[in-house]
Amino acid sequence: MISRRQLLEGIAAGLAVCCGWPRPASALGGTLPPLDQPAPDFSLDGVPGSRSLADFRGQWLVLYFYPRDFTEGCTIEARGFQRDLEQFHRLGSEVVGISADSADSHAEFCGSEALVYPLLSDPGGAVSRRYGSWIAPFSQRHTFLIDPDGILRAQWLGVRPLGHSQEVLATLKEWQLKS
């Protein structure tokens, strides 16, 4: 059974399509940035230091948002990306995680899980909001694939941590075949 909200959203989406109205995509965490458009800019502190979207120009970027360091699902997801990191690098891609946790928490998490890719701190959720990935006080488990020109090419919402890294790798390979 669908909820009243789902019914109303479905009707609104149908009207938007029929009438040609522009309608921003939304997810549980807010309004999503549109695919095939420039990715929302960011600049955040973290481990091993500050990073911005511009730092990744010229390479593919897997930007994943997650709720909390040291939780079961987040640990599974982080380990998957770490396990597959060499494959991402061979494909000219970097992996970056973002959550509301502090840089100190990220440093402990990276140390305990031997993570060598950047984890960035978004304590107020400003960047998470730009990516439609924020329900205070946590970032939602969403992932975005950004091309070397800074264009958002793919998104995963409400990610299931187990096997997610392989799912992203497969999509990255598909996009690179198109390029």
Q: How is residue 53 written in tokens?
A: 């979207």
Pairing of strands 43-44, 46-47: unpaired
- 88/10 Cα distance (integer angstroms): 37
Question: What is the sign, positive or negative, of the torsion defined by CA atoms of 20, 21, 27, 32?
Answer: positive
Contact by Cβ (8 Å): 128, 65: yes
Strand-pair partners of 27: 30
Contact by Cβ (8 Å): 152, 35: yes
b/e per residue, 130-143, with b = 16+ CB within 10 A? bbbbbeeebbbbbb
- Give catalytic residue positions: 74
